[in-house]
Structure 1
Amino acid sequence: MIAGSVQQWVTSLMDTLGAPGAGLAIALENLFPPLPSEVILPLAGFAAGAGKMGLLAAVLWTTAGSVVGALALYGLGAWLGRERTIALASKVPLVKASDIEKSEDWFARHGTKAVFFGRMVPVFRSLISVPAGVERMPLPVFLGLTTLGSAIWNTAFIMAGYLLGENWTKVSGYVSTYSKIILGVVALALVAFVVRRVVRSRKENRKEKQRG
């Protein structure tokens, strides 16, 4: 139902604005991850195949939209900064300041790879821009990695829609499976984190009681 509504909206947007409309849709998709790029991009490819816009224009405009959306989230992360992020995270149950420090260390070592490959992972392709802003990754580096990663992701999906023609909706099915696997892995990781933290807390409480 949601995908159908998005399809109608994006189709109307592209009919009115052409390739810039596809770029606008992708910019909004970065800011609102529930808007699925796996619907927007193949649809743009199908529209290009139907002669409603140029294929190269579709790639360039959607990539520009990805960068604009990512920049907005980078700005949000930069505005939050380290202190606000720690303050917010400290209010989350089972999260400690040491967890934030570990995340910072990890991002310092792997931030460039995270930003580049993160652009090709559903949901995280948007969210990865926030920690990049928090850690103040050099803007030229962030822009370069975001542009390259987005161009690869967008081109793959636009070409799929272009080549599949009226069967472009098949792309959504494949990506839906991919997304479920990714989210499943993340959910398992979160469960493991919570279990480890609860077990550790209980051990610490027992030690404190024994000392008392």
Structure 2
Amino acid sequence: MSWISDHLLTLNGTLVLLAVFLLPALESSVFLGFIIPGETAVVIGGVTAYNGTNALWAVLLAAIVGAILGDSIGYAIGKKWGDALLRRIPHRILKPAHIAQSKDLISRLGGRAVFAGRFAAALRALVPGLCGVSEMRYRTFAVWNMLGGAVWATGFVLLGYFAGASWHRIESYANTASWVLVGVGVVAVGGLLYLKHRAEKRASARFEEQPEAPDSESAHSVRP
């Protein structure tokens, strides 16, 4: 994404702020996050604050509002049209069983899924819409969305700000870290589901091994 970053640095301060707002806002609302991760613009916004092109507070505000608003739109789209959109995806690409598992996972994790999804590029484009499809209460979504959006945006803006002239290396690390977090999340969720399955299997086996209670009529008939 270096070409995008280099192009952003040639823009004036106002246009950079617009990009800092729009890229995070479009990540989940139009699924732009699959192509261009929002942290690219947010890190560059921090660099422009370091260079004095923009005020740090303005970059922070644009990034935070863009992140929160974009995910809120993604949630609304998922709630209203999510199931219809998912049905249009060919089953060979996205199996119905995987959709059901994703809904179940979000239902069990609740708001924690919103917060965790904010820090992984691939999940940022999906989690808000899936929360809407899963009928998560908007109040729950909004609280965790605001918390996750504020922490994420502030972290990446300050990353660019303190990196200064070394922003190229920091940008590369940030993109790599996002995908690493996706991998870690998948492994962690897979491990939890495996452990849950084993626990349920052991519980079922113990239940089947328990001796049946004697019938009340039989118990009375053997009494002297």
With normalisation by structure 1, the TM-score equals: 0.72
Gap change, CA 1:178 and 1:111, over 3 Å in 2:
same
- Tell me the equivalent position of 1:176: 175
Residue 65 of structure 1: CA displacement? Answer: 0.7
Give the superposition deviation at 1:170. Answer: 1.5
Distance 1:94 1:138 in 2: 25
**Root mean square deviation of aligned Cα:** 2.9
Relative to structure 1, the CA distance from residue 26 to residue 102 in structure 2 (aligned partners, 3 Å threshold; closer, same or farther) is closer
The change in CA–CA distance for 1:89 and 1:185 in structure 2 (over 3 A counts) is: farther
Tell me which amino acid in the other structure corresponds to 2:5: Q
Alpha-carbon separation, structure 1, partners of 2:43 and 2:94: 41
CA pair 163-86 structure 1, distance change in 2 beyond 3 A = closer
1:28 corresponds to: 26
Tell me how far apart the structure 1 counterparts of residues 101 and 7 of structure 2 sit (CA, whole Å): 42
CA distance in 2, matches of 1:186, 1:143: 22
Which residue does 2:114 correspond to in 1? 115
Matches within 5 A, 1:52-71: 52-71=53-72
Partners in 2 of 1:145 and 1:186 — Cα distance?
Answer: 18
The structure-2 alpha-carbon separation of the partners of 1:42 and 1:80, relative to structure 1 and needing over 3 Å to count, comes to same
How many equivalent pairs are there? Answer: 185
Q: Matched residue of 2:110: which SS?
A: helix
Tell me, in whole angstroms, the C-alpha distance in 1 between the residues paired with 2:7 and 2:26. Answer: 12
1:161–1:168 CA contact under 8 A, matched in 2: yes
* SS of equivalent residue, structure 1 residue 123: helix
Which whole-Å deviations, capped at 9, do the CAs of 1:139-173 have from their partners, x for residues lacking one?
Answer: 23222211211111111111111111111122122
User: Runs of 5+ in structure 1 lacking a partner?
Assistant: 190-212
Q: Secondary structure at the match of 1:36?
A: coil
| Corresponding residue of 1:141 | 140
Quick one: which amino acid aligns to residue 79 of structure 2? Answer: A
Local SS of the residue matching 1:168: helix
- Taking structure 2 as the reference length, the TM-score comes to 0.69
Question: Given the superposition, is the C-alpha separation of residues 94 and 173 from structure 1 closer, same or farther in structure 2, using an over 3 Å criterion?
Answer: closer
Q: Which has the larger radius of gyration?
A: 2
Give the C-alpha shift of residue 179 in structure 1.
Answer: 3.6
Q: Tell me, which stretches of 5 or more residues in structure 2 are unaligned?
A: 189-224
SS of 1:52's equivalent in the other structure is coil
